[in-house]
């Protein structure tokens, strides 16, 4: 896309919402995202587009809008010279600007966030990377050597398997993940909360941006400094541009990583969230698991990482169904007749309902054994009694559903997902 071309709609949105290099407290105060959404809804009722507000006919209709102070709106729309100077400054640094109504605006943000999608984005690099999804890796700014090694290892393997890294660009986990990915020849997207203009010319990013393997974007002014509110707000953008999320470390009940993860777990349009459980586990990560997050697959991650992530999600779904089914055997929430019970997994279930607990949990066991595992680790993963699991595994081996290996003793499913 041309970095110098702004559509009329985007020009109008920038005039209404952008600080244009000034403090957002400077008069006239730009519209925040919620205010712009209200104005956008009014425009729809009037069958207008933002660009119409640049014309006299649209400005005349604006006289009938009672949502905001009219002087404020007119003063914002009169900032044409300021906008021209700001755009010249931004584009001289290689930045581009895209508005929510532009065809290049990432659909993922529109679809996942709706009215909460940013009205416009500033960026540098190949805008097409914003549509490629990937693994979001986030965590604390303060990271120890173990955390650095873990983050680098995940990002490096993702890059080698063609999985893009999406992160926030902050020091610590974010920067470590992005740099490890591009160092391994992969792609990365950074959603920054501040200082995009500075990052765009940084030596550590320059080559990857030029090679179209790194894209940096921000929903705040490219010159803006750090602001806690902006840092917290960009978390939802990180997850919206990803297929999966990984929290390396989170402080319990405080900080942006925790807040973003909890918000994601509550969202109806959420992506699967994983947390690091190898080695030292932060208190926040432990609590996120209690809230519904998944344990990230243990190392090594050399092959089929994305398949392992999906298998974890599938296994969790099957486990929930198996628990519900086992409760029905105990007379709890039992359906009126067995025909009402759907098979849990079409690859392994019979055409009729399971007739005992073993048949109910077998699909979960098989899903969890896509990679070889020992009894101890499998029992911990499934949160079941060690002795009971051994009995189920023995029967699964006898039934030809599972293979048992020796030296070391491990089990692996014969049914591949």
Three-state SS sequence of 204-268: HHHHHHHCCCEEEEECCCCCCCCCHHHHHHCHHHHHHCCCEEEECCCCCCCHHHHHHHHHHHHCC
The Cα–Cα gap between 322 and 361 comes to 5
Whether 137 and 260 share a structural domain: yes
Q: Among candidates 134, 131, 122, which has minimal Cα distance to 234?
A: 122
Whether 139 and 240 share a structural domain: yes
Torsion of Cα atoms, 26 then 30 then 33 then 34, to 10°: 90
Domain boundary (120, 135, 150) is at: 120
Whether 32 and 62 share a structural domain: yes
Please check whether residue 404 lies inside any domain of the structure: yes
- What are φ and ψ of residue 74, in 5° steps? -65, -40
Say which CATH number the domain at 233 has.
Answer: 3.40.50.450
pLDDT in tens, the chain (417 residues): 444 589 999 999 999 999 998 877 788 999 999 999 999 999 999 999 999 999 999 999 999 999 999 999 999 999 999 999 999 999 999 999 999 989 999 999 999 999 999 999 999 999 999 999 999 999 988 899 999 999 999 999 999 999 999 999 999 999 999 999 999 999 999 999 999 999 999 999 999 999 999 999 999 999 998 888 888 889 999 999 999 999 999 999 999 999 999 999 998 888 999 999 999 999 999 999 999 999 999 999 988 999 999 988 887 777 666 666 655 555 444 444 444 434 434 443 433 444 567 777 888 888 888 888 888 888 877 777 777 788 889 999 988 899 999 888 999 998 765
Whether 377 and 322 share a structural domain: yes
Cα–Cα distances (Å) from 256 to 52, 260, 291, in that order, read: 38, 6, 17
Whether 167 and 241 share a structural domain: yes
The Cα–Cα gap between 358 and 392 comes to 7
Whether 45 and 113 share a structural domain: yes
Whether 358 and 266 share a structural domain: no
Give the structural domain span for 144. Answer: 127-295
pLDDT above 70 covers a percentage of the chain that reads 89
Model pLDDT, residue 416: 63
Please check whether residue 406 lies inside any domain of the structure: yes
Model pLDDT, residue 393: 92
Whether 97 and 137 share a structural domain: no
The Cα–Cα gap between 113 and 191 comes to 15
**Global pTM?**
0.78
Q: ω into residue 269 within 30 of 0, thus cis?
A: no
Please check whether residue 1 lies inside any domain of the structure: no
Say which CATH number the domain at 347 has.
Answer: 1.10.10
Please check whether residue 281 lies inside any domain of the structure: yes
The structural domain count of the chain equals: 3
Whether 180 and 315 share a structural domain: no
Whether 35 and 60 share a structural domain: yes
Model pLDDT, residue 81: 95
The Cα–Cα gap between 369 and 19 comes to 54
């Amino acid at each position: 896309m041309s970095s110098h071309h702004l559509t009329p709609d985007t020009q109008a949105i920038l005039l209404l919402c952008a600080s244009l290099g000034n403090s957002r407290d400077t008069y006239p105060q730009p519209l925040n995202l919620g205010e712009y959404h209200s104005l956008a809804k009014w425009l729809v009722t009037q069958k207008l587009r933002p660009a119409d507000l640049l014309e006299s006919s649209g400005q005349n209709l604006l006289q009938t809008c009672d949502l905001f102070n009219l002087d404020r709106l007119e003063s914002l729309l009169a900032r044409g010279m300021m906008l021209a100077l700001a755009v010249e400054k931004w584009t001289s640094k290689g930045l581009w600007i895209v508005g929510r109504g532009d065809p290049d605006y990432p659909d993922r943000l529109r679809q996942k966030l709706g009215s909460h999608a940013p009205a416009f984005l500033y960026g540098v690099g190949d805008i097409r990377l914003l549509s490629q999804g990937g693994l979001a890796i986030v965590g604390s700014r303060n990271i120890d050597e173990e955390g650095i090694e873990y983050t680098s290892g995940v990002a490096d393997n993702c890059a080698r398997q063609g999985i893009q890294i999406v992160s926030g660009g902050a020091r610590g986990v974010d920067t470590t993940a992005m740099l490890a990915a591009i160092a391994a020849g992969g792609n990365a997207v950074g959603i920054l909360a501040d200082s995009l203009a500075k990052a765009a010319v940084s030596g550590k990013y320059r080559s990857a941006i030029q090679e179209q393997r790194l894209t940096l974007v921000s929903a705040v002014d490219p010159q803006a400094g750090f602001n806690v509110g902006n840092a917290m707000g960009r978390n939802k953008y990180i997850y919206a541009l990803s297929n999966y999320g990984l929290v390396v470390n989170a402080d319990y009940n405080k900080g942006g990583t925790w807040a973003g993860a909890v918000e994601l777990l509550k969202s109806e349009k959420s992506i699967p969230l994983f947390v690091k459980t190898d080695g030292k586990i932060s208190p926040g990560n432990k609590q996120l698991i209690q809230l519904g997050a998944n344990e990230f697959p243990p190392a090594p991650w050399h092959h089929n990482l994305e398949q392992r992530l999906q298998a974890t999600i599938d296994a969790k779904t099957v486990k929930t169904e198996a628990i519900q089914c086992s409760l029905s055997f105990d007379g709890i929430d039992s359906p009126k007749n067995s025909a009402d019970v759907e098979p849990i997994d079409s690859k392994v279930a019979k055409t009729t309902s399971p007739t005992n607990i073993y048949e109910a949990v077998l699909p979960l066991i098989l899903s969890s054994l896509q990679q070889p595992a020992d009894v101890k680790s499998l029992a911990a993963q499934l949160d079941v009694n060690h002795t009971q699991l051994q009995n189920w595994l023995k029967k699964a081996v006898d039934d030809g559903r599972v293979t048992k290996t020796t030296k070391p003793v491990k089990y692996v499913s014969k049914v591949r997902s």
